[in-house]
Amino acid sequence: MWRSSSSSATAIYSHKMETSTAMDVEEQPSPNPNSVKRFGLKNSIQTNFGDDYVFQIVPKDDWSAMAVSLSTNAVKLYSPVAGQYYGECKGHSSTINQILFSGPSNPHVLSSCSSDGTIRAWDTRTFQQVSTINAGSSQEVFSFSLGGPNGNLIAAGCKSKIQFWDWRNKKQIACLEDSHVEDVTQVHFVPDEQGKLISASEDGLICTFDTTGDINDDDHLESVINVGTSIAKVGFFGESYRKLWCLTHIETLGIWDWKDCRNEVNFSDARTLASESWNLDHVDYFVDCHYSREAEKLWVIGGTNAGALGYFPVNYSGVATIGAAEAILEGGHTSVIRSVLPMSRIHSGSANSPNHGHFGWTGGEDGRLCCWLSDDSTQINQSWISSTLIMKQERTRKKNRHHPY
């Protein structure tokens, strides 16, 4: 996926949007210099003044925009290619726990869920709220997913419950109360089987549901996987999306066949394995996993508290290993990185296209959005800074990285 390179990267960034400074990022020796790809910082955008930070970055289906959720309880939209600031969606009164675009059928609709107990939809052309679903006055919505057999369902993890609505009329159609006993951190409709829903929780369980017909705990719970510890994030990958990667709140990584409820590998020492494969600081946390269908390859993305990031290949067949970092992003962030948006889907542009050489974007607790390019890109020294100054927001209390809600 990334060719080898040994040239150093140049980083250009803005400090609170006041100055533009160029600095050389010293290249660290790699355990295998022929297998690592380093990326230079094209630019960074300070999303706010003060101590606010970035939670999540998601792309619009056609990559004409990316949405960024912030600890100010707002979502801002930018161009993923030019970095231009488009506007802001404001309305939530508490932490935004997840955002996603609705897809090609509603390309301009962005949805968000929050600890204020609501799921809101926004028109990204006007930045206005167009609909809201209220899960209840005492509820918090930690995750949600759009899908179902007919594509009309919204499923949401609301504390320990999973609630379902028909997004066409906003009516609640089901509530599963018995499957989990602690906060539901993830709900996902299976990409190629939209009638199947997978949920994951702080109780350590991953549940699979059939969402056809009248949904209930007794008849529609198909299987339960016990991971054994609080689950932070899960994602589908592999042929027919039958494999599931699972990151926990104690920074372990597991690979499961969710259809057979079979654990294929469990890396209880994942951070140690990743840390031993590079010469930077110890890997303190994992941000996400990334899967390439073309390469049939899975990476776990690990970071340091100082703001460095590495893509570590995961071998989950045969001898289970976490290999040496194949991509390193360093010199852009000064704190914990919360979200990574790879731009691999638009990497096929020509050498003269605006997005040629783009690796993607990262966001973190330093409030920065950083754009990364291949360090052999001709654009790396042609950095730009967003000219949009954002008004300083009222300082919000920081939340624990593992429990942003």
Along the 405 residues of the chain, how does pLDDT read in single tens digits? 343 332 222 222 322 232 222 222 233 334 454 557 777 677 778 877 567 899 999 999 999 999 999 999 999 999 998 899 999 999 999 999 999 999 888 999 999 999 999 999 999 999 999 999 999 989 999 999 999 999 999 999 999 999 999 999 999 999 999 999 999 999 999 999 999 999 999 999 999 999 999 999 999 999 999 999 999 999 999 999 999 999 999 999 999 999 999 999 999 999 999 999 998 999 999 999 999 998 899 999 999 999 999 999 999 988 999 999 999 999 999 999 999 999 864 443 333 333 445 689 999 999 999 999 875 554 443 222 222 222 223 333 334 444 443
Contact in structure between 155 and 110 (CB atoms under 8 Å): no
Sheet holding 153-158, edge to edge: 141-147, 153-158, 161-166, 171-176
Sign of CA dihedral 216, 219, 221, 224: positive
The partner residues of 379 in beta bridges, in order of sequence, read none
Kindly state the tokens that stand for 181. Answer: 């006993």
Q: State the Cα–Cα distance between residues 72 and 74, nearest whole angstrom.
A: 5
Q: What is the pLDDT of residue 50?
A: 65
With a CB cutoff of 8 Å and minimum separation 6, the contacts of 400 are: none
With a CB cutoff of 8 Å and minimum separation 6, the contacts of 291 are: 235, 237, 238, 245, 297, 298, 299
CA 16 to each of CA 84, 308, 345: distance values in angstroms, whole numbers, following the listed order = 16, 20, 31
Q: What is the pLDDT of residue 352?
A: 37
Identify the three-state secondary structure at position 33.
Answer: coil
Evaluate if pTM is beyond 0.75.
Answer: yes
Q: What is the pLDDT of residue 27?
A: 33
Write down the number of H helices and E strands in the chain.
2, 31
- For β-strands 37-46 and 327-329, DSSP reports them as parallel
Q: State the Cα–Cα distance between residues 192 and 190, nearest whole angstrom.
A: 6
Kindly state the tokens that stand for 144. Answer: 């949600």
Contact in structure between 202 and 230 (CB atoms under 8 Å): yes
